[in-house]
């Protein structure tokens, strides 16, 4: 039986009328970052595009970040907001939160890091496979925040490399989301290689 378009006329919000899967796709819309000017050839009835392996790999990496939250304080609550339904980082492919460093490539340090915790932070970072990225979230992780004290790390870049900094105390979930989008852009431009 052929697929019938889904009738959404009873929906509480205005929705576009859907079509059967595979129908109505416009050719020429498949592009990768930096590839928009390339011609897409229609060969033997199929759509093809040409690109480089690096572009393809960077595109895939940027769109499939798996975050590991290193949450030690209130910033972690903002992180939880970002992965929940209101902000929904799943829209950008980064919702697969993992608490095992072996299965994550984006460490989000959310909270105060005290001296005693710093070897743990470093060890977990080192257990993550390459390529790995780090976001320092909030005033505490970026600079020690208002803890100007001997026992608090004054910025996690004292211990591990940092790719993105999110300002604020507390930083907003949309601020964190913005940093992930900027990180994604950097990865896709090939600016981060480790
Ligand atoms: S930056 Fe502010 S919100 Fe974040 S952990 Fe420090 S005190 Fe808490």
Asked whether the beta carbons of 111 and 125 are under 8 A apart, the reply is: no
Residue 27's pLDDT band (boundaries 50, 70, 90)? Answer: very low
Specify the pLDDT at position 2. Answer: 55
In this predicted structure, the answer to whether residue 72 has a pLDDT above a threshold of 50 is: yes
Per-residue pLDDT tens digits for 139-149: 999 999 999 98
Distance CA 140, CA 167 (A): 9
From 78, 81, 140, 146, the mutation candidate for ligand 1 (largest count of ligand atoms within 8 A of CB) is: 140
Helix then strand count (H, E) for the chain reads 5, 6
Q: For the segment 88-129, what is each residue's pLDDT rounded down to a tens digit? A: 999 999 999 999 999 999 999 999 999 999 999 999 999 999
Instruction: Read off the pLDDT of residues 41-66 as tens digits, 9 standing for 90 and up.
Output: 555 556 667 788 888 899 999 999 99
> What domains can be seen in the chain, in order of their start residue?
66-179 (3.40.50.12280)
Query: With 70 as the cut, is the pLDDT of residue 136 above it?
Result: yes
CA of 76 to the centre of ligand 1 (A): 9
Taking the CA of residue 168 as reference, the ligand 1 atom at the shortest distance is 1
Integer Cα distance of 84 and 99 in angstroms? 17
Cα 170 to ligand 1 centre (Å): 5
Task: Name the phi and psi angles at 2, rounded to 5.
Answer: -65, 150
Strand order in the sheet with 106-110: 67-71, 106-110, 133-137, 164-166
Min mean pLDDT across 26-30, 55-59, 70-74, 108-112 is at 26-30
């Amino acid at each position: 039986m052929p697929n019938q378009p889904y009738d959404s006329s009873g929906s509480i919000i205005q929705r576009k009328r859907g079509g059967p899967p595979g129908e109505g796709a416009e050719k020429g819309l498949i592009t990768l970052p930096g590839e928009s000017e390339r011609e897409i050839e229609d060969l033997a009835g199929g759509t093809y595009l040409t690109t480089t392996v690096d572009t393809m790999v960077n595109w895939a990496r940027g769109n499939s970040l798996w975050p590991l939250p290193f949450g030690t304080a209130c910033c972690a609550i903002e992180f939880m907001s970002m992965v929940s339904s209101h902000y929904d980082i799943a829209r950008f492919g980064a919702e697969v939160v993992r608490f095992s460093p072996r299965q994550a490539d984006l460490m989000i340090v959310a909270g105060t890091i005290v001296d005693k915790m710093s070897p743990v932070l470093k060890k977990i970072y080192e257990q993550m496979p390459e390529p790995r990225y780090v976001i320092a979230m909030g005033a505490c992780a970026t600079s020690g925040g208002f803890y100007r004290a001997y026992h608090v790390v004054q910025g996690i870049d004292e211990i591990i490399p940092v790719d993105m900094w999110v300002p604020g105390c507390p930083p907003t979930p949309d601020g964190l989301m913005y940093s992930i989008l900027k990180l994604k852009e950097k990865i896709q431009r090939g600016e981060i290689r480790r």
